[in-house]
Amino acid sequence: MSDDFGNEFFNLMDLIRSDPMALALARDTTGPGLDVSSQFNYVIGLAGRLVQNGIILYLPPGRYRLPHNTAEPNPRTRYELPENVQLYLCQGALLRPELNVDLIIRGSLRAGKYQVFGYERDVPSGIAGVTTAPQGR
């Protein structure tokens, strides 16, 4: 798919291929997913240096987790994609912000009519009709 684009195209899995467990974690449909915080921070930093050129951040099928950075003094972790970044989630890609995580998309979001965001639900067992709110924002 990256052959259809120029050098503005960044496939998330290409950015993490150096980690042999990454693909398995991303494709695990029962676990929390692959931590992609460093890849998001890399693209955010790169976009800040490429003011005139846009970036497409492509997420192939898989589960991707944006974790809360507990080392920060701020109670919330913020990932802010600037205007020149298009977040492109294909069918089967699920981005999962954790509790106390804010994902701000100032650019555009490209996806079809399918779920692209997910979260963990903490529902007490045996209670019917309980609704929960997403953890991240």
Predicted pLDDT at 125 = 52
Give the C-alpha distances (Å, rounded to integers) separating 79 from 82, 99, 121: 10, 13, 22
* pLDDT-derived band at 88, boundaries 50, 70, 90: very high
Radius of gyration of the chain (CA): 16
pLDDT per residue over 36-58, tens digit each? 888 888 888 888 776 566 889 99
Between strands 55-59 and 93-97, the pairing is unpaired
The predicted structure's pLDDT at residue 61: 92
